[in-house]
Amino acid sequence: MSCDLLPTEVDGPHYQGSVVDVLNDGWDLMVCHPPCTDLAVSGARHFAAKIADGRQQRALDFVSLLLDAPIPRIALENPISVISSKIRRPDQIIHPWMFGHGETKATCLWLKNLPPLVPTDVVDGRSDRIHKMGQSKNRWKERSRTYLGIAEAIADQWGSISI
């Protein structure tokens, strides 16, 4: 399991290296998005191989490392996955349509010392556009993007909580 962060797509400060190197740097909040490739139930047909070669266990170990980090407030995001059965059930399941976007995309949140997110803009016209996204070299990246409405809710609702 790689712990390396992706390059930034926008200007500004961005650490790119192993997240393990900065977990003990005195953070008061961590919102993490570990890779779902070896965990998401959408890829269950490949689980036998991922279990046999250890990929799934390495991914679960990485999730445990993040959830156990010495950070007082943690939110870990992943789709419906084996985290629920192998580590613990999520504290909340959200969808983009709860935060101003018309898509359905079940997103689980495992929370430590954080309240569940409160929907900010429930919209109609829901579609499963992300699920139906065609094959491309960047499909994985496009499917894993955090919607702006969800990111704004995280910043507004969790960014000012004091420890």
Pairwise CA distance, residues 53 & 50, whole Å: 6
The mean per-residue pLDDT over the stretch 120-141 comes to 70
pTM (two decimals)? 0.85
Task: Show me where the domains of the chain are located.
Answer: 19-158
Q: Give pLDDT, residue 1.
A: 46
Q: DSSP letters of 11-70?
A: SS----SBGGGGTTS--SEEEE----TTTBGGGGGGHHHHHHTSHHHHHHHHHHHHHTSS
Pairwise CA distance, residues 143 & 119, whole Å: 21
Higher pLDDT, 8 or 112: 112
Q: Per-residue pLDDT tens for 17-53?
A: 889 999 999 999 999 999 888 898 888 888 888 899 9
C-alpha distances out from residue 159 to 81, 96, 122, 155, Å: 27, 19, 21, 5
Pairwise CA distance, residues 91 & 106, whole Å: 13
